[in-house]
Amino acid sequence: MAGRSSNPISVPSAAGDDGPQAGASVRAGAPVSAPISEGAPISEAEALARLAQSEDPSQQYYGAWWLGRMRSQHPEAVPLLRSALRQRRARDPGAGVEENAVARNAARALGKLAPLALAAVDDLLEVLEDPDDGLREAAARALGDLRAEAAVQPICRRLASGPQGAGALRPGTPRLMEPCEALLEALGEIGQGAEPVLAVVEPFVHHERPLIRSAAARALLQLSGEQRWGTLLVELLEHPQLQVRRAALMDLGAAGWRPALEPIRRTLAENSLKLMALRGLVERGTGEPAEPLLLACMDELL
């Protein structure tokens, strides 16, 4: 589901009942992206040209975002994004620009450009080993979006040390040693539920952070279809923090867990997010409650 992109422009529908100006990211830990002025609409040729030049990184950043957002199928898009993936640039606090901003946005865009972007899987796997954890996060999400089975082993390797290792707090920062949420979610999206993969994911349902527990339960639900993981996500819909309830909504939607219809309807969160979750139940789920009931509930939330 496209509902949790980390690009600020692609999440305005998350503003929901928080009021239209609250463009807040659905989850904490989403990278702080460079400020972008939407400005006048640009053409595909213009987006490619902005990405291709190297004078102005903010233009490259916008060009990369545009190509992903518009699902560009231009033959130049993927090659340009692959070379943008190699750009490294320190964070510029004054300009509010994140570290390796262009490379991160290139990774995000590649995630949206299947099937052409399958040519970039090896580049993304390389980036999955980068020292910048924000860049690893973007690469993991893209590999998940591309359903890149080649990523399962490398991702499992990064998570294998478990909640006490990969999931430990990075000293002096609010971040974890690994971008666990993105790595777990990617495993769920790729959908290879072999026993060793489940064994890597399962310890994370005991992580101290509820958002990590939610991501792990989502992946396990997607990989195994076992009800207990759906139950865990439904419990998180009652968490006192709005941010956790929002994440559980997105995760239930991503897994298409239809038994969650009533708890989704009842939880305290924006209708916009409930609608996104219910869309996931309709499109990704099967069985009961059936579609007429799901659609009737969506109609009420409009």
Partner 1 sequence: MTPTDLPPAEQTPTEQLVEAVRLADSSQALLLATRELAASGDPGAAQVLVEVLGFNNPGAAVAAVDGLIRLRGAAVEALLRLDAQNYGARAWAVRALAGIGDVRGLELLEEALGSDVAASVRRAAAKGLGSLELHHLSTAEQERILQRCLQALLAARGDGEWVVRYAVAVALETLAERLQSRGHSLQALLDGLDILTQPAEGNPPVVQLRARLAVERIQRP
Judged by CB under 8 A, the stretch of 19-27, 83-91, 119-127, 194-202 that binds partner 1 is 19-27
Task: Measure Cα distances from 54 to 63, 76, 127 in Å.
Answer: 12, 16, 20
CA distance linking residue 31 with residue 251, whole number of Å: 19
Question: Binding to partner 1 by residue 291, rule CB under 8 A?
Answer: yes
Question: Shortest approach of partner 1 to residue 128 CB, angstroms?
Answer: 29
CA distance linking residue 4 with residue 243, whole number of Å: 13
CA distance linking residue 254 with residue 185, whole number of Å: 9
Angle between helix 101-111 and 77-84 (nearest 10):
140
Question: Binding to partner 1 by residue 71, rule CB under 8 A?
Answer: yes
Omega prior to 171 cis, within 30 of 0: no
- The answer to whether residues 82 and 121 touch, using CB atoms and an 8 Å cutoff, is no
- The answer to whether residues 295 and 282 touch, using CB atoms and an 8 Å cutoff, is yes
Contacts of 91 (CB under 8 A, 6+ apart): 97, 98, 99
Among 74, 89, 175, 279, which residue interacts with partner 1 (rule: CB under 8 A)? 279
Task: Report the residue number, 12 or 96, with the smaller CB distance to partner 1.
Answer: 12
Task: Measure Cα distances from 51 to 56, 199, 298 in Å.
Answer: 9, 41, 39
Question: Binding to partner 1 by residue 265, rule CB under 8 A?
Answer: no
Among 130, 168, 271, 289, which residue interacts with partner 1 (rule: CB under 8 A)? 271
Judged by CB under 8 A, the stretch of 17-25, 111-119, 167-175, 184-192 that binds partner 1 is 17-25
Question: Binding to partner 1 by residue 16, rule CB under 8 A?
Answer: yes
Q: Return the residues of window 144-163 that contact partner 1 according to CB under 8 A.
A: none
Task: Measure Cα distances from 233 to 152, 209, 219 in Å.
Answer: 23, 14, 11
Among 247, 272, 277, 285, which residue interacts with partner 1 (rule: CB under 8 A)? 272
- The answer to whether residues 160 and 166 touch, using CB atoms and an 8 Å cutoff, is yes
Contacts of 51 (CB under 8 A, 6+ apart): 60, 63, 64, 67, 80, 81, 84
Judged by CB under 8 A, the stretch of 128-136, 173-181, 255-263, 269-277 that binds partner 1 is 269-277
Judged by CB under 8 A, the stretch of 10-18, 44-52, 217-225, 231-239 that binds partner 1 is 10-18
Encoded amino acid at 123, one letter: D
- The answer to whether residues 251 and 226 touch, using CB atoms and an 8 Å cutoff, is no
Question: Binding to partner 1 by residue 22, rule CB under 8 A?
Answer: yes
Task: Report the residue number, 29 or 280, with the smaller CB distance to partner 1.
Answer: 280
Judged by CB under 8 A, the stretch of 51-59, 99-107, 257-265, 287-295 that binds partner 1 is 287-295
Among 9, 15, 36, 52, which residue interacts with partner 1 (rule: CB under 8 A)? 15
Question: Shortest approach of partner 1 to residue 34 CB, angstroms?
Answer: 20
Number of residues that bind partner 1 (CB under 8 A): 25
Task: Report the residue number, 45 or 295, with the smaller CB distance to partner 1.
Answer: 295
Task: Report the residue number, 69 or 147, with the smaller CB distance to partner 1.
Answer: 69
Write the interaction track for partner 1 spanning residues 227-256; mark x where CB under 8 A is met and - where it is not: ------------------------------
Binding site for partner 1 (CB under 8 A): 12-13, 15-22, 71, 270-272, 275-276, 279, 282-283, 291-292, 295, 298-299, 302
